[in-house]
Amino acid sequence: MAHLDLSADVVTLTQQLVDTFSVSHHEQEIADAVEAALRTLPHLTVTRRGHTLVARTDLGRGERVVVAGHLDTVPLNDNLPSRLEDGVLHGLGTCDMKGGDAVMLKLAADLTEPNRDLTFIFYEAEEVDSVHNGLRKLTESDPDLLEADFAILMEPSNAAIEAGCQGTMRVDVRTTGERSHSARSWKGVNAIHRAAPILARLNDYVAREPEIDGLTYHEGLNATGIRGGVAGNVIPDECVVEVNFRFAPDRSEADAEAFVRDFFDGFEVTVTDMAAGALPGLDRPAAKAFVDAVGGEPAPKFGWTDVAQFTKLGVPAVNFGPGDPMFAHKQDEHVPVEHVERCERVLKEWLS
């Protein structure tokens, strides 16, 4: 089992986490290591559900803050082990989001007498379909463990606050035809050719950019895959275009689905996955206090994050973590050391 040294500095701890393989559905080793580290801390009560860990103080403070981060990564892309060069840590998960996890572990170890009660959540399976998401599962099995006045998700946000998040929806848009031998193609109907209007509509799509609580969100509707074909000498009778819709948080899931079905009117549309967005909620007192502590101007979160899980529970939440989200999931994924150190410093000061 990997060993995590909670006495090490936050950058070294980030490297230890990065070098512990944890691609989605393979989080056993890292979850065991995090659990072993947390159970050495007598001021925390630790609960495990699958490969998700919850560690809580119970000091009777007047306010409780949740700090959460996922343990899994996207698949390996020749970007392990980690390497530290010129103040930048490179490697799978450095940005998304083991730098944030390291900050959480340092806070958990060092803040024995915080000014607010704290709940730390390290969870599994964020990078895959929402049915597997460890935080979502907690909202159903143990919602009491997520009760709080405010939540901070340590997703990469350039060590600044990104508020709310957009929703995400995946659909299959399907065409059908009739098989025939490709030497006698006129005897069949080519389903792949029939998908051309789907791609044309996507190419002509103009993104909506609503302003919410002073933040401008940017929607996106894109083909992310296409599948079809039977054999090299057969006219295909089916083609499926996989489409991802990223929708602003002022749309409900029902509104998003209605928009997509209308956009692809005339085609068969099947929803395969959906997660609601989260409104910024910057008007809530706890959120305002944290914004004041961090400083700077909050920005909108364009990608989906698990702030939406907290929003469903009525807990205001923001994204605040080290790393540029533009480098998440890329082969050259990396995190500036100064981001990791800033997040640790800001949170320690606010919670001390």
**Annotated catalytic residue, options 35, 126, 257, 306:** 126
Q: Three-state DSSP class for 195?
A: helix
**Separation CA 65–CA 286 (nearest Å):** 9
**Separation CA 202–CA 219 (nearest Å):** 13
Dihedral-angle region of residue 238 (phi above 0 means left; psi in -120 to 50 means alpha; beta otherwise): beta
Phi, psi of 74 (to 5 degrees): -70, 170
**Annotated catalytic residue, options 35, 72, 96, 149:** 72
**Separation CA 70–CA 58 (nearest Å):** 23
Give the angle 107-113-116 at the CA atoms, nearest 5°.
80
- Residues whose CB falls within 8 Å of the CB of residue 289, separated by 6 or more in sequence, listed in order: none
At position 154, the amino acid (one-letter code) is: M
Residue showing tokens 């701890």:
13
From residue 227, how far is each of 75, 89, 243, 337 by CA, in Å? Answer: 21, 37, 12, 41
Provide the token pair at 305.
Answer: 């994050």
- 344 counts as catalytic: no
- 126 counts as catalytic: yes
User: What residues are annotated to the active site?
Assistant: 72, 126
